[in-house]
Amino acid sequence: MNYLNKIFKCYNAYCLLLDKRIEFWSELHGSFIQKGIGLQRFLVGDGGLNEHYSHVDSGSLPDYYNGSTNYGTWYKSPAPLNAWLSHRKIIEKSLLEGFDHVLIIEDDVFIEDDFDEVLWKAEPFFIENKWDAVYFGGYHNENSWRLTNNDNVIKLQGSGGWHGVLLSRPIMEELMQELPIGPYDWIMGQKYHQKYDCYAIYPSVISQKSGHSYVENSNLDKPSRYKR
């Protein structure tokens, strides 16, 4: 049984696909189709491929606003701002299409083998409790979450990572009003985890691969899905 579709109905699903990783698309799309998730590609990058682009990169760096992140990488290249703009376009498109939820997937992820098993165990929590955002993959340190009454669901209060996140319409509408003060996952952790009912599946069922990050411009080893 596809527990993601059973629990979280009526959502739009997009993969933020960087043109430098377009070769990932076929396998990634197929793996989500096997789970009954009609993942659509949202192609972004420099516009150099003979493909339809949903966002063509700008060369601009982010401006500094009151409350902007002090994370150095945010200001070093246009890549983080282009990622932010791409996420914003996905949110805007989903709102205009009338969806109450959007599932955003990064292109460098994979579905864990126990995806359905973990969601089956998490299902009772989401039947009994209201939710506004659910992270199927995320990064959690000891101060960014707290336990719930379900071993496979944690309540977020500052976690990061948008490599597999489901957002509700109220959050989407608010995010559309945000200025680019930092990556969207950082904005969520700073401002929305306390205001809304934001949860993560534990352990992550959508995980990022280790490898080169074009936003960070370096190779990154991803933490264990069990780390929290």
**Token pair recorded at residue 116:** 């359905």
In a domain, 225, yes or no: no
pLDDT for 142: 84
pLDDT for 218: 62
Q: What is the pLDDT along the chain (228 residues), one digit of tens a residue?
A: 566 777 887 688 999 999 999 999 999 999 999 998 999 999 999 999 999 999 999 999 999 999 999 988 999 999 999 999 999 999 999 999 999 999 999 999 999 999 999 999 999 999 999 999 999 999 998 889 999 999 999 999 999 999 999 999 999 999 999 999 999 999 999 999 999 999 999 999 999 986 666 666 666 667 777 776
In a domain, 156, yes or no: yes
Quote the number of domains for the chain: 1
Q: Is the dihedral of CA 170, 174, 176, 180 positive or negative?
A: negative
The parent domain of residue 28 ranges over 3-220
**Amino acid letter at 3?**
Y
Residue 129 per-residue DSSP state: S
CATH code, 78: 3.90.550
pTM of the shown model:
0.94
In a domain, 228, yes or no: no
In a domain, 226, yes or no: no
